[in-house]
């Protein structure tokens, strides 16, 4: 099972994709449970955001590097040549597959200990109140607390190719006469960028 | 804990939101694990899609109705007047909170039995191969299997208010001279709608 967990799909059929699917679900549950117990007064929203930062690919790749997982991953020739063992996505997926394998081999309690070990330093220095809400949520809450209407976002244009699109989005709030404009690689990113800009403008106005 | 699981946030602070967060993670794991075992040859993609259909709000609301959960939910006056106990989202969230409470009270094994009981009939008649890929994926795979380039989607316009937006999206493939156009309440929905239309056009052409 360990062998399978370390085998990338570029090798062939007997790869780690099913284990990765299972490990992802286990990790989501175990981390949700750990921080639920660790922060008894945190709100659902805080816990949800904290969990997201702990199980995202970037964090999993970081942990994979700490345990030097990359040396152990079995990759096909193409992935080997292109340095696949350095890629965040492959590192993160392999770690999830490893978690799935530990669970199938030893059950949920041992798997929980395994995850706790992996996350030790990452859970020590964490605080749900520190995890920032995304910019759109911040802006909406700022405006609602001042009984302003919600901001209006519009996609102004979508340029670039379908592989590398660029979205231009406007954000209009009642406090400003003109809409603010920003761009991003997706509609979501452009909206976050423009919301951030509006927040900065509101803050400099408040000072 | 049962009382808390049944208490909607419209009642006040001691509500089921944290339990709902926990129950959601437990349910995701338990269902992922059950179908992993039940379908040993299903692909990661098939399992992911099957799990999504089993844990989505609509399905949870359906199960909540089967166990007549709505009679037990404690709602604030406003939610009571507006018939909140009939709403899918409230039914689904309360069921998740109930799962969280069973887990905290009795541990993961008993919680797993509880979930298996809830899902009995829903798991009997399920087949991962039946779960359709979404239209965009279908279209992309159809074109790739014919060594065609991937379709190009563009947002043509976004009208309506920010609460009720309407997106118009075009989809251009090399096989057709003209782009096909469709609308939807979100970019995603409009893209799915236009992809479906293109598939229908391709199928009628193949016949």
At residue B165, what are phi and psi to the nearest 5 degrees?
Answer: -75, 155
Closest approach of B153 to chain A, Cα-based (Å): 7
Contact assignment for A158 to B154 by CB distance below 8 Å = yes
Considering the candidates A20, A24, A79, A191, report the single residue annotated as catalytic: A24
Q: Judge contact between A69 and A92, C-beta under 8 A.
A: no
Contact assignment for B36 to A20 by CB distance below 8 Å = no
Per-residue pLDDT for A106 more than 90? yes
The three state secondary structure string of A44-110 is HHHHHHHHHHHHCHHHHHHHHHHCCHHHHCECCHHHHHCCHHHCHHHHHHHHHHHHHHHHHHHHHHH
Cα gap A84→A76, rounded to integer Å: 9
Secondary structure (3-state) at B52: helix
Cα gap A9→A79, rounded to integer Å: 10
Q: What is the mean pLDDT of residues A114-142?
A: 88
Cα gap B137→B134, rounded to integer Å: 6
pLDDT digits (tens, 9 = 90+) for A48-102: 989 999 999 999 999 999 999 999 999 999 898 988 888 999 999 999 999 999 9
Q: State which residue of chain A sits closest to B36, comparing Cα positions.
A: A22
Cα gap B116→B121, rounded to integer Å: 9
Residues on chain A touching B33 (C-beta within 8 angstroms): 22, 25-26
pLDDT digits (tens, 9 = 90+) for A131-146: 777 889 889 888 888 8
Considering the candidates B20, B46, B96, B191, report the single residue annotated as catalytic: B96
Strand ranges across the sheet with A165-172: A152-160, A165-172, A180-184
Residue B193 C-alpha from the chain's centroid: 17
Based on the residue annotation, tell me whether B24 is a catalytic residue of this protein.
yes
The pLDDT, as a whole number, for residue A171 is: 95
A203: exposed, middle or buried (Cβ count in 10 Å: 0-12, 13-18, 19+)? exposed
Closest approach of A80 to chain B, Cα-based (Å): 23
Token pair, residue B20, equals 């709902």
The pLDDT, as a whole number, for residue A207 is: 64
Q: Judge contact between A187 and A155, C-beta under 8 A.
A: yes
Contact assignment for A25 to B26 by CB distance below 8 Å = no
Can you give the pLDDT of all 207 residues of chain B as single tens digits? 999 999 999 998 899 999 999 999 999 999 999 999 999 999 998 999 899 999 999 999 999 999 999 999 999 998 989 888 889 999 999 999 999 999 999 999 999 999 999 999 999 888 887 777 788 988 988 888 888 888 999 998 888 887 788 999 999 998 898 999 999 988 889 999 999 999 988 888 876
Say yes or no: ipTM exceeds 0.95.
no
Exposure string of A110-132, with b = 16+ CB inside 10 Å and e = fewer, is: ebbebbeebbeeebeebebeebe
Cα gap A120→A125, rounded to integer Å: 9
Token pair, residue A61, equals 């790749």
Nearest CB to A152 within list B32, B153, B162: B162
Closest approach of A111 to chain B, Cα-based (Å): 13
Considering the candidates A20, A46, A79, A96, report the single residue annotated as catalytic: A96
A21: exposed, middle or buried (Cβ count in 10 Å: 0-12, 13-18, 19+)? buried
The pLDDT, as a whole number, for residue A140 is: 87
Check CB contact of B152 with chain A, cutoff 8 Å.
yes
Of A207 and B138, the structure prediction assigns the larger pLDDT to: B138
Q: Judge contact between A47 and A31, C-beta under 8 A.
A: no
Token pair, residue A66, equals 């700490």
Q: State which residue of chain B sits closest to A154, comparing Cα positions.
A: B158
Q: State which residue of chain B sits closest to A31, comparing Cα positions.
A: B25
Nearest to B151 by CA among B163, B160, B142: B142
Nearest to A38 by CA among B18, B178, B73, B12: B18
Based on the residue annotation, tell me whether A24 is a catalytic residue of this protein.
yes
Nearest to A140 by CA among A196, A207, A82: A196
> What domains are there in chain B, each with its CATH number?
2-130 (1.10.1520.10), 135-206 (3.30.160.20)
Check CB contact of B151 with chain A, cutoff 8 Å.
yes
Contact assignment for B25 to A43 by CB distance below 8 Å = no
% residues pLDDT > 90 (chain A): 66
B159: exposed, middle or buried (Cβ count in 10 Å: 0-12, 13-18, 19+)? exposed
pLDDT digits (tens, 9 = 90+) for A10-62: 998 899 999 999 999 999 999 999 999 999 999 998 999 899 999 999 999 99
pLDDT digits (tens, 9 = 90+) for A146-197: 888 889 999 988 888 877 889 999 999 988 989 999 999 888 899 999 999 9
Cα gap A18→A40, rounded to integer Å: 34
- CB neighbour list of residue B119: distance below 8 Å, 6 or more residues apart: B31, B34, B54, B63
Check CB contact of B48 with chain A, cutoff 8 Å.
yes
Residue B130 C-alpha from the chain's centroid: 16
Check CB contact of A172 with chain B, cutoff 8 Å.
no
pLDDT digits (tens, 9 = 90+) for B132-153: 778 898 898 888 888 888 899 9
């Amino acid at each position: 099972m360990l062998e399978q967990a370390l085998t990338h799909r570029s090798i062939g059929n007997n790869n780690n994709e099913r284990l990765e699917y299972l490990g992802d679900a286990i990790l989501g549950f175990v981390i949700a449970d750990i921080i639920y117990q660790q922060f008894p007064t945190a709100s659902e929203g805080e816990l949800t955001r904290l969990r997201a930062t702990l199980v995202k690919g970037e964090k999993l790749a970081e942990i994979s590097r700490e345990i030097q997982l990359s040396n152990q991953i079995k990759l096909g020739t193409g992935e080997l040549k292109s340095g696949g063992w350095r890629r965040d996505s492959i590192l993160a997926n392999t770690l999830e597959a490893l978690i799935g394998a530990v669970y199938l081999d030893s059950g949920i309690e041992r798997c929980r200990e395994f995850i706790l070990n992996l996350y030790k330093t990452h859970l020590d220095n964490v605080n749900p109140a520190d995890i920032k809400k995304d910019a759109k949520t911040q802006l909406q809450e700022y405006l609602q607390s001042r009984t302003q209407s919600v901001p209006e976002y519009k996609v102004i244009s979508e340029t670039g190719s379908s592989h590398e699109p660029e979205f231009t989005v406007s954000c209009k709030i009642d406090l400003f006469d003109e809409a603010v404009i920003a761009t991003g690689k997706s509609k979501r990113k452009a909206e976050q960028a423009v919301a951030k800009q509006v927040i900065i403008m509101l803050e400099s106005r408040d000072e």
